[in-house]
Structure 1
Amino acid sequence: MKNYLKQSKFWLLACIASLALVTACSEEEPVEEPSGENLILDFKIEGIDVTTGVQIDHEGGTVKDSLPVGTDLTSLVPIIEVSEKATISPASGEAKDFSSPVVYVVTAENGANKIYTVTLSVKEEVIVVEKSDDNDINEFFFSEIFIRGKIDGQQISGSVPYGTDITNLKVSLDIHEKASVSPAVEEPQDFTSPVTYTVTAENGETQSYNVSVTEQPQDVGVRGVWLTNVDSNVLTSKQKIDEAVALCDELNINTIFVVTWNKALTTYPSDVAAEITGKKIDPLYEGRDPLRELIDAAHAKDIKVMAWFEYGFAAYNGSPGPILDNTPDHWKARDVNGNVVVKNGFYWMNAFHPDVQQFMIDLFTEVVTNYPDIDGVQGDDRLPATPSEAGYDDYTVSLYKADHDGQEPPATAKNTAWLRWRADILNKFGKALYDSVKAIDPNMVVAHSPSPMSFGYDEYLQDYTTWVAEGYSDIVSPQLYRRENQGLNIYKGLLSNQYNMLEPAGQKIFYPGLLLFLGGYLPSQQFIADMVQANREIGVQGEVYFFFTGFQDPDVQEVMKAMYPTKAIYPEL
């Protein structure tokens, strides 16, 4: 029995052991599958510490980043973090050229690939520009009448011609491109009282300007124009003369200086000219009297007429011409070498010889006698004048020797004393001419339009300040012919220079010549207006325009009407 129990216990223990072994075998750990993760988790560039805001789109397979200003994309080293157990190609840390997109392949542990396209760009430089505080008015115009306003701090003043309607003026102004102005320049304003303009800068700062307008006194002066037969057909018919006079009247011009003597011909029937040239009048006007026609037409409009002896002592242009061909040798101006004097193409008469001087006086007095209702006569840059190269003819040399103990004239044409001696002869002629005209009609005006001093003196022996000071010039209109490309300040400087050479009495008869048209040149409306206003600023109340053809331009007509809205009072001379 005991043996049986021992055997049974042994058997039971064996079974329990076998069962435990079977159970242990059934709990063995499972085999792990390879990972399929293949993502780019982070993307950085070596050496760039700033946060760049990389954008990783796993679904779209893109990586985008914007790098700092100035980054060179052609050689960057990316630091790329990918999924655990994944690999990437090209490898992290491998320098690449990112100036165009770069493709990366991320391979998972299980071999699955995912493609990412990496696109890098460089941020644009952000320039912070402060808003402008410029609220200045740089220029101010009363635009429709071409008048510039004068700016003095926050005060702007405008001086407008007599008769201007100041109740409805438009303005224009120059301000910063990002500034604004109120009231708007498109709105006409009534300037009978000051008007305030407020300029607002880009940054909101404002500045106010008080604009006032004053009306100039009515002009008492000569508003003239030269009417020529060169580059103009006005004198070819009475109808054209009437039309020209009507236009002058419309533009409030009160004086016409009409060509009477040029090209060795006259524009009126002349016995004096016929004696020398054989022609009583320019053949173009045969059978007519343009001077008479003009006087009648102009006087009907209360416009003065002056006979303009354009060529003066210049005999002809381009050749000696009929005067020098038909007169004795002493009529010819001679230079130091004994040649006939030619300057700027013009052949010159001997202005120092009494016969030549008398011929010119006879032309003037013929007009004064035959046209007693004409208002005046005028010499210009060729009368009294002669080139400073002249004076070496036998007559003038003998005259010089008689005054200088037998000495020869200086061989240098512009020797100071030699210039003065010859200019004095011309001055004496100028007085003789003046006295001859006044002997016929004391009320006849004797006018002159010389070249500016000192050019006129050095080149043509013209000493017009003496003519004015000694009282044998009733109107002086120096030819201040300055073009627009020379600038307004050049004109102003010349104007001031010539005006200040005269005493107050002489300044009252000073009406400068302005260049309006020549060979296609035509100044802008603003430049014309600026020259007129420059004259008014120094007290000059008139001017003479060279020449009429410019008046036929519509733009010129517009500015003339703005400058001369009413008639001027003709001065007492």
Structure 2
Amino acid sequence: MKELDKITTKFKKAKEKLLDVNYEKAQIIIDKMILLKDNNKTSSAEYQKLYERAYQHLTLSERIEERGVWHRPCEESLEELIKMLDDLKSININGLYVETFFNGFTIYPSKVMPYHPNLNNVYGEYGNDYLKALIAEASKREIQIHAWVENFFVGGKDGLHSDLWEKNPEWQIVNYNQLNYQTGKPGNEEEGFLFFDPANIKAQDLILKFYKELISNYEIVGIQLDYIRYPSANENYIYSSGYTEYAINKFKDEYQLEIENIFEYVKQDENYQLWNKWRQGEITKFVKRVYQLVRALDKNILLSIAVGPEINYAKTNLMQDWGTWVVNGWIDIVAPMAYVESKDFIKFIINKLNETTKGLTYNYTGIAPTYHGLPDILNTYFIDESNKCGALGSIIFAYHNLVDNIEVKETLIRGTHRHKAISPHQEVSKLLEVLIADIKEKAINIYLDSGLITAKTIDKLIKILNSKYQNLTELKQNVELAIDYINKKDNIVSNNIIEMLKRFMKIINIKEQRCYCRKESKDENIY
């Protein structure tokens, strides 16, 4: 009974607000729920499933939104690769964050790093180059490719890892327990993981050579920095890491310290905090090096980060001071790994994210309910709540949880992914086209029939938005004029359109900030 009341209320409010949702399919499902209620079957699994499906049909689907998925390559032929991309396109995914360096291997024939043996296959006309095939075929399907890179994480002790680990023993991180692999942490976190020392300049140099090769040879949209950190659990020095001879000497030299035993030294909280500050600084210095290299090679490549979901947690636990990276203007996209179990946590994370990024970045929420075995409906709840809190899209971890899961894919396509969407970081001229088309479609299908707005008013609004502009400042002026014009109507329809225009203005403001950060003129269309 509770579910029926909730969904009928949601249906009624959507109607009152003239929202762009699937009323027809929602009503069919609500009628089925009423029938089950009349037969005293409200406690059945079928009843709950119907509620969830009706909820999805009544959830908004944005037209300007990142719809990302993380993916570890496993396709051994061009046919398998195409099948994967077609599957993503069928659920309106527009961004694929593909693991491009993982377990110490690349996903293309490299002169810098070992090529992953499972991917060294023939991909039709693209030869044995997985990444080349992926980029070309994804482009045909309007799916953008971001190179997702696990910087300092190089595999598992008892699992597959490249010979980079054995060839470079001096780069291997040393933990407080003086082992070179992760073990014994609470909850067996990162058990057996292998990391290179983030402070080691030679390890950094190799990763930068990889980035240079990647950017020079492949037309990727972005690079996403993951494992741009120390191993986890640094709240307690017992589980901390980074104690290589190289790092200890570097730390002592920088602060001009006389330390006989670093393991005794960090037992004092004041000393441990200084050690943490230094390690955070080493990560930040490397991010700056990556940023400078990427900008020098291709200023159009977007730099994104997959990071601890809340800045204080990230700094304390992972040595990730990513708020500083954002403030310094190095980062275009922030993807907090919000791997939580309720939408209340999503709300908390996105509100904190907004406080930290201050409109400087595109914020796309990383979610993983299916990976963690949670109910399918949480994909809808999390994406919807994320959007309501001001994020501009989401990235789902990961494709292997979607590929054979028809119910999850149907969950997405019924609700948040119902409409095709364009990523907010794309060229502003393309976004404007989508915005105008969205307003026109809503006017034809919903608004004009309400009698609250006329076709003449819509035409005038579109004319204002279509006014010529030479730069982002002039485009903002056009949008402001459109808001002022439609605001005079003061009804539900005008309020809906104003919300759309304000969201678009938010995206323009981010693009403007990206231009300032890059010290470029505001006539750039991409940012």
Q: In 2, are the aligned partners of 1:423 and 1:461 still within 8 Å (CA)?
A: yes
Take 1:499 and 1:222, find their aligned partners in 2: how far apart are those partners?
Answer: 17
Note the residue ranges of structure 2 that are not aligned, 5 or more in a row: 41-46, 48-56, 123-127, 183-189, 235-239, 426-526
* Structure with larger RCO (C-alpha < 8 A, sep 6+): 2
Output the amino acid matched with 2:363. F
What SS does the corresponding residue of 2:418 show, helix, strand or coil? coil
1:560 aligns with 2:406: no
Deviation, 1:523, is 3.5
What SS does the corresponding residue of 2:304 show, helix, strand or coil? strand
Deviation, 1:176, is 13
Take 1:413 and 1:441, find their aligned partners in 2: how far apart are those partners?
Answer: 45
What SS does the corresponding residue of 1:305 show, helix, strand or coil? strand
Deviation, 1:337, is 5.2
Structure-2 change in CA distance of 1:393 and 1:495 (3 Å): same
1:251 aligns with 2:108: no
Take 1:559 and 1:413, find their aligned partners in 2: how far apart are those partners?
Answer: 51
Q: In 2, are the aligned partners of 1:159 and 1:215 still within 8 Å (CA)?
A: no
Take 1:466 and 1:236, find their aligned partners in 2: how far apart are those partners?
Answer: 40
Correspondence for 1:450 among 307, 311, 331:
307
The C-alpha deviation readout for 1:221-271, integer Å capped at 9, x for no partner, is: 321001114xxx4x2111111111112112111100111111221111111
Structure-2 change in CA distance of 1:176 and 1:555 (3 Å): closer
Structure-2 change in CA distance of 1:266 and 1:248 (3 Å): same
Partner residue, 1:411: 266
Q: In 1, are the aligned partners of 2:63 and 2:419 still within 8 Å (CA)?
A: no
1:509 aligns with 2:362: yes
Take 2:175 and 2:280, find their aligned partners in 1: how far apart are those partners?
Answer: 16
Structure-2 change in CA distance of 1:568 and 1:355 (3 Å): same
1:375 aligns with 2:221: yes
The C-alpha deviation readout for 1:449-501, integer Å capped at 9, x for no partner, is: 1122344322321222222222212111111112xxx44434433443x4244
Partner residue, 1:313: 152
Structure-2 change in CA distance of 1:449 and 1:431 (3 Å): same
Deviation, 1:338, is 4.1
Correspondence for 2:293 among 436, 439, 443:
436
Take 1:465 and 1:242, find their aligned partners in 2: how far apart are those partners?
Answer: 38
If the length of structure 2 is used for normalisation, what is the TM-score? 0.64
Deviation, 1:177, is 7.1
1:361 aligns with 2:202: no
Partner residue, 1:530: 381
Partner residue, 1:24: none
Correspondence for 1:285 among 120, 133, 139:
120
Deviation, 1:163, is 5.6
Partner residue, 1:227: 71
1:304 aligns with 2:155: no
Deviation, 1:541, is 2.7
Output the amino acid matched with 1:383. I
The C-alpha deviation readout for 1:319-340, integer Å capped at 9, x for no partner, is: 586223112x431212345432
What SS does the corresponding residue of 1:505 show, helix, strand or coil? coil
Partner residue, 2:450: none
Structure-2 change in CA distance of 1:306 and 1:289 (3 Å): same
Q: In 2, are the aligned partners of 1:456 and 1:462 still within 8 Å (CA)?
A: yes
What SS does the corresponding residue of 2:112 show, helix, strand or coil? helix
1:140 aligns with 2:1: no
Q: In 2, are the aligned partners of 1:162 and 1:566 still within 8 Å (CA)?
A: no
Structure-2 change in CA distance of 1:444 and 1:137 (3 Å): closer
Take 1:352 and 1:458, find their aligned partners in 2: how far apart are those partners?
Answer: 17
Structure-2 change in CA distance of 1:566 and 1:340 (3 Å): same
Q: How does 1:114-513 map to 2 (within 5 A)?
A: 139-141=5-7, 149=10, 156-157=13-14, 164-166=21-23, 169-170=26-27, 172=30, 218-229=62-73, 233=74, 235-273=75-113, 279-287=114-122, 288-310=128-150, 312-318=151-157, 322-327=163-168, 329-336=169-176, 338-342=178-182, 343-371=190-218, 373-380=219-226, 382-387=227-232, 388=234, 389-408=240-259, 410-412=265-267, 415-453=272-310, 454-482=312-340, 486-496=341-351, 498-506=352-360, 508-513=361-366
What SS does the corresponding residue of 1:260 show, helix, strand or coil? strand
Correspondence for 1:546 among 397, 401, 407:
397
Take 1:417 and 1:330, find their aligned partners in 2: how far apart are those partners?
Answer: 24
Partner residue, 2:496: none
More helix by proportion, 1 or 2? 2
Output the amino acid matched with 1:239. E
Structure-2 change in CA distance of 1:169 and 1:280 (3 Å): closer
Deviation, 1:352, is 0.1
Q: In 2, are the aligned partners of 1:510 and 1:540 still within 8 Å (CA)?
A: yes
Partner residue, 1:115: none
Output the amino acid matched with 1:141. I
Output the amino acid matched with 1:316. G
Structure-2 change in CA distance of 1:166 and 1:160 (3 Å): farther
Q: In 1, are the aligned partners of 2:230 and 2:242 still within 8 Å (CA)?
A: no
Structure-2 change in CA distance of 1:366 and 1:344 (3 Å): same
Partner residue, 2:497: none
**Farther-moved stretch of structure 1 (533-542 vs 339-348):** 339-348
Output the amino acid matched with 2:368. L
Give aligned-pair identity as a percent.
21
Partner residue, 1:204: none
Corresponding pairs, count: 379
What SS does the corresponding residue of 1:149 show, helix, strand or coil? helix
Q: Which of these two proteins has the greater Rg computed from alpha carbons?
A: 1
What SS does the corresponding residue of 1:529 show, helix, strand or coil? helix
Partner residue, 1:39: none
Take 1:370 and 1:398, find their aligned partners in 2: how far apart are those partners?
Answer: 37
If the length of structure 1 is used for normalisation, what is the TM-score? 0.60
Take 1:445 and 1:340, find their aligned partners in 2: how far apart are those partners?
Answer: 33
Take 1:449 and 1:158, find their aligned partners in 2: how far apart are those partners?
Answer: 38
Output the amino acid matched with 2:228. L
